[in-house]
Structure 1
Amino acid sequence: MDRPHHFNKYVYRYGLMVVIASLVSLYSFCALSSPKASADESTSYVRVIHASPFVGTADVFVDGKPFLNGFRFASVTDYAALPAGNHKVQIALVGKGIGAAALTKTLPVQAGEAYTIAAVGASPQTLNLQVFVDDNRVVANYSKVRIYHLIPDAGTITVSIGEDTTIKDMAYQDNSDYVTVDSGPCTFAFTMPSSNEKMTLPRTLAANTVTSVFAVGMLHGNPKAQLVAATTQGIPGLPQTGSDPNAMPAPTSIPASPIWLLAMALLGLLGLGITRHFRRSA
């Protein structure tokens, strides 16, 4: 039995395995340490709320194509992806078609931004699309809240969010700053100083979410004033991604240690040297 020959054969195979393992490990480290591609930078995100007492149920068209059908008063859509740029938005009474649009407006949207577009106005002369720029970033484990005043005949309003009473003298078609609050039960209280009327909305706020509360309708007319809440998932602690309401937290990158990379490279070279030596000896 030729023991040296078998030994050489064993060492050769071992060296070959070391080379392969080193290459695989090196590739894995490089893949993990590479930054992940960011979300599509040409996309914006848009949601729509129907807050016009004048229009009633409507159809909405964007760039000449149906976008929303049978859109009822006080309805809020989820966010929808929309290419950045200028878009022609038209609103028509339900079933009347785009040719009978009561409102036509061109709206610019920027890449990476999120928007709330509100159909507002209590008469043909005041019918309009009000655009709000949203920010869905949140502080981890907290909730964030924003108020939108869309009641035409309410005058200025004051809003309390639980114990927070910082929102005062909001004008029609205005929005509040974002307020960060603890998650859990919360009551929104809207007061109209001009008429001493008050509306409340109890709500349970989940952590890492953004809740929008819209005051819509008419205090002295129809449809009646009401509070409508919409909640979207926030993105905790990740600047540059909060504008995408549907974004998931980016995977954590693992930096490749220079020492580990050097060690794997040397191990690979060692294995390659062993392999070449015993191939010549075989």
Structure 2
Amino acid sequence: MSTRPLALVTGSSTGIGLEIARELGRRGHDLVLCADEPLDEAVNRLGRSGVVTHPVHADLGTEQGVQELLDVVDGLGTPLEVAALNVGIGQGGAFLDSPVQAHLEVVRVDVVGTVQLAHGLLAGMVQRGRGRVLVTSSVVSGLPGPYQATYNASKSFVQSFTEALQTELADTGVSVTLLRPGATESAFWRRSGLTSSLLGRMPKDDPGATARAGVQGLFEGKRQVVPATPTGRLLDATAAVVPSRVKAALQAVMSRPR
């Protein structure tokens, strides 16, 4: 059994997830990395800095994939100290222009997978009376999402779900932090089909800065972190004060394919 603390990061092949993994590695954690695409680059980059990694290739939109990841974590024999539930996918374009299965996949990964994984991991943390969980939502959780309808809705669920857990787990020794980034540079835009939208073409936040803010907030026990970046602050302020109909119209301009 390793003497280093163990952390799990989902969606850790690229983008924010990879940078969260790097931050946790710098803090002395061994890492379970999970993605639905190859993790070779992430493993190589982290390995060069001396971090021990356990890569898991799994689709967290399936019950089997989540259980496979839980089995790997359990099989390591080391208590899980940190879990970063970061994986998320989107589907750009008008709702009716994509097959319903594409939208259901967003719900399965972003919502169902998050709930199943959280349930499987939190039980052990609560039993031990310690642990930290970082859940990645988005500043668009407060915005209706024309042309990325299921993604915005899924992030609204994730935010509400996380805030509920924060209250339920308040006296257990387990902290839950919500990370709400703005538009951040990652493979998300390509995979979601949003590269031609105004939002897809605008300058993005640095994933390293976003990850550092999230991990710092996690270890400080913060309930919520919105990185102090231009897009994050602007979208968060818009969601807080602008009427819903106006927010939907603004999101439509930003997300409509060009």
* TM-score bin (small chain): under 0.3
TM-score, structure 2 as length reference: 0.25
Task: Judging by fraction of residues, say which structure has more helix.
Answer: 2
